[in-house]
Amino acid sequence: MAEKAAAKAKPAATKAEPVIKTILQIDGKDYDVSTVAADALKAYKSEHKRKVVKEFVVYVKPEENAAYYTVNGEGDDSFKVGL
């Protein structure tokens, strides 16, 4: 009997969330917009380890093959990552 109770007590399998990507296609090139903000934030934090980030806005400019960002409403010429 204990074996049957243990078999029934298996936890239900959780459903995995689907992988979601946003791909921007311009002039025959694909840009993975899903990762642009994450890459930009990572680049910023690698240089500014102690700065508290409350707002992070990314501006994607495919014609320049770059994304620019502002941190807490402030920008800088160095706030740029390649696409």
pLDDT on residue 72: 93
**What's the domain count of the chain?**
1
| Lowest-confidence region among 7-16, 24-33, 67-76 | 7-16
Q: What pLDDT digit, counting tens, does each position of 31-66 carry? A: 888 788 888 999 898 888 888 889 999 998 888 989
Instruction: Give the range of the structural domain holding residue 31, as residue numbers without chain letter.
Output: 2-82
The more confident residue out of 79 and 21 is 79
Rounded-to-integer distance, Cα 43 and Cα 9, Å:
46
Q: Is the pLDDT of residue 7 over 90?
A: no
Which residues have CB under 8 Å from 40's CB, separation 6+? 56, 58, 67, 69, 79, 81
